[in-house]
């Protein structure tokens, strides 16, 4: 015979109180985000049109109407793509070593320590490093690739930590089952471990991209300003959307301010589309998709 225990009023009150505090904290956290999105959308739609997306600022003065951020959009896409090509393979291989090969070794502890240090590095420091080493010491010019190098430094620790956490979530039973069938370790990693954690790794990569897509300080020191379209990230200054927003926002005219808001809206939309693409790829490659 079971005995039904009634919840005491005091315990019920505490439960409701904690639940109320959780919902209140969620609302407080969401309100600033919604307010920022509302302001960007409200002010950015004034200049967010086809001309803005297909024209550059060449021969457009601060007080002139028209012009757009096409040159900055091209620059941001190329710089973020190059930064991803550099940082994602290195970060993923580092995470694989930490989880699959180097657990408990001195090298893995040293790598983890430096990854933690890199996580807290201010973005301007990465820009200063590339400026000092790549541009001043080696003698290369300002370029989109220099900006991509600075962004990749900021991306790597995020990619390493997110990939490491996802690899640790893969059950050891899957690895042991693969080993029991005589599959070598490297093939187990590529055919079992990585596909199982692919969705989480893709999400972590997108978090890293979202972090660096809006960075301005590294680009100020490595990319420089230009009003013209430059599709070659390895030669000459190349504009980026964060730089475009910064440049237009510092000009004391209403037309320039409108272009800055439209540039901020464009940057948010690009990050949202990239996150949506990552979610779709993660869903498509998910092991549970076919269930």
pLDDT digits (tens, 9 = 90+) for 166-184: 999 888 888 888 888 888 8
pLDDT value of residue 89: 93
% of the chain surpassing 70 pLDDT = 95
Question: pLDDT at residue 132 above 90?
Answer: yes
Global pTM reads 0.85
Q: How confident is the model at residue 4 (pLDDT cuts 50, 70, 90)?
A: very low
Look at residue 289 in the predicted model and tell me its pLDDT. Answer: 56
Q: How many CB atoms lie within 10 A of CB 152?
A: 26
28 or 9: which leads in pLDDT: 28
**Residue 129 clears pLDDT 90, i.e. is over it:** yes
The answer to whether 234 and 149 are in contact (CB under 8 A) is no
The domains found in the chain, sorted by start residue, are 68-284 (1.10.3720.10)
């Amino acid at each position: 015979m079971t005995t039904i225990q009634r919840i005491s009023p005091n315990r019920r009150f505490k439960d409701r109180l904690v639940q109320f505090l959780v919902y209140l904290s969620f609302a407080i956290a969401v309100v600033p985000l919604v307010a920022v999105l509302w302001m960007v959308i409200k002010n950015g739609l004034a200049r967010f049109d086809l001309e803005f997306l297909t024209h550059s600022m060449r021969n457009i003065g601060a007080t002139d109407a028209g012009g757009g951020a096409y040159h900055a959009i091209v620059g941001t896409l190329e710089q973020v793509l190059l930064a991803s090509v550099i940082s994602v393979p290195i970060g993923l291989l580092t995470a694989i070593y930490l989880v699959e090969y180097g657990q408990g070794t001195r090298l893995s502890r040293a790598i983890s320590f430096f990854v933690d240090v890199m996580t807290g590095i201010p973005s301007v420091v990465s820009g200063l490093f590339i400026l000092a080493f790549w541009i001043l010491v080696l003698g290369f010019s300002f370029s989109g690739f220099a900006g991509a190098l600075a962004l990749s430094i900021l991306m790597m620790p995020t990619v390493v930590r997110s990939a490491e956490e996802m690899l640790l979530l893969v059950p050891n039973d899957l690895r042991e089952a693969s080993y029991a069938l005589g599959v070598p370790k490297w093939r187990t990693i590529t055919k079992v471990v990585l596909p199982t954690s692919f969705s989480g790794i893709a999400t972590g990569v997108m978090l890293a991209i979202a972090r660096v897509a809006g960075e301005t300080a590294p680009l100020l020191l490595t990319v420089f300003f230009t009003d013209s379209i430059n599709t070659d990230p390895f030669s000459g200054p190349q504009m980026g959307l964060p730089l475009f927003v910064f440049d237009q926002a510092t000009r004391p005219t209403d037309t320039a301010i409108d272009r800055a808001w439209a540039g901020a809206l464009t940057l948010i939309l690009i990050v949202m589309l990239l996150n949506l693409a990552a979610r779709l790829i993660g869903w498509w490659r998910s092991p549970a998709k076919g269930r």
